[in-house]
Amino acid sequence: MEIFWYIIIAIVLAMFFILDGYDFGAGIIHLFFAKKEKDKEVIAKSAGLFWDSNEVWLVTAGGMLFMAFPTFYASVFSGFYLPLIIVLWLIIFRAIGLEFRSQFKYQMWKDIWDTSFGVSSLLLALFFGIALGNIVRGVNLGSVTNGVSAHEGLYFFLPLWNSSFSPLAEHPGVIDWFTIIIGFISVITLAIHGANWIILKTNSTINNKLKSVIFKLNIILTILTVFSLFVWQIVNPNSLDNFSNKPYLIIFPIVYFIGLIGLFFIKKIKKDSHAFVLSSLLIVGGITSTLASLFPIILPSINNTHEHLTIYNTSASEYGLSVALTWGIIGFILLFIYIIIQKRLLAGKIDHMDYGH
């Protein structure tokens, strides 16, 4: 049952980053490339019509973690308290940026909330990438100093950064040079995804320009991907052992590189939906490759005093997991009905749909 719920939660997280990821990316494109008011309005609409339904997947993932892996949930929600509060505020400011911009016709009012939408989207993409970097790097479970544990092995607390800014420090912070690299990869990936979404759902005047932007961003993403694999070996020399021990797991990196290579042909792709699928493969491949490299670990310990948190030592009881299956099926049925209805109502281009008035 632990593996089953691990896979289900991984799928839900992938769905969140595919769906809400294009909202983050649309905000990044809005911030840097939308100059005309007509483009700003339609790009904001491409995110605003969907963001609230897309965030249902984040709520679902949080609920499932609490239900299936309560020990892991308690550990990370206390240890990552500071960045989680920052993410909460960024989600709030992104939402009110979208909802408030069209309430008044004054340009200064629109500029304030456009900035709120763009900057919060950029920082959300960055912080979610940094969060993934922290999971990959590991944390000092038990706050061990010189071999002495200050707390029980499930507890940790990270400052936003430490004086060394190094992932190899005994007490690393949330932000260091390694997690920043993963954060940049997240920003570039979601910007590409958001640009594909804007091309797919709008008739923005910058759509043709966005294809050139995607191509250039894809070059940067390729460089960062190769570089991150190199530095990952410095931070965790055993990070790729799962792929050599279980060769079938190589399918996940292949999914990522299919998306990466395919996007180099963005200018030749005729159907906008195909480009969106390729950037979705980037997200799915990146998340699943990371999880596959760690499995069955879900939070590594960087000290030798306390064991890693795994899907086995942090899960609920077998009875709890089995009871949750029944309610999980009911919840998924309701979720999919909601998503299908919403997507059907908003099918096609959204340029002339009402939002924010």
> Across the strands, what pairs with 301?
139
Please, what is the end-to-end C-alpha distance for the chain in angstroms?
47
Q: Is 75 helix (H, G, I), strand (E, B) or coil?
A: helix
CA proximity to 181, closest of 141, 227, 222: 227
Q: Taking a C-beta distance cutoff of 8 angstroms, is the pair 214, 195 a contact?
A: yes
Return per-residue pLDDT of the chain as tens, 357 residues: 788 889 899 999 999 999 989 999 999 999 999 888 888 888 888 888 888 888 888 888 888 888 889 999 999 988 898 889 999 999 999 988 888 887 888 888 888 999 999 999 999 999 999 999 999 998 988 888 877 777 787 888 888 888 888 888 888 899 999 999 999 999 999 999 999 999 999 888 899 999 999 999 999 999 999 999 999 988 888 888 888 889 899 999 999 999 999 999 998 988 989 999 999 999 999 999 999 999 898 999 888 888 889 999 888 888 888 888 888 888 888 888 888 888 788 878 877 777 655
Q: How far apart are CA 52 and CA 78, in angstroms?
A: 26
Tokens (6 digits) for 307: 């064991």
**Tokens matching residue 342:** 């919403």
CA-based R_g, the chain, Å: 21
Interior angle at CA 143, CA 139 and CA 146, nearest 5: 110
Residue with tokens 């190589």: 250
d(CA 89, CA 94): 9
Angle between helix axes 107-137 and 272-294 (nearest 10 degrees) is 40
Domain extent listing, the chain: 2-231+295-345
* 139 beta partners: 301
- Best CA proximity match to 92, nearest among 119, 60, 62, 126: 119
Residue 309, token pair as written in the block: 């948190």
Q: What is the pTM of this model?
A: 0.92
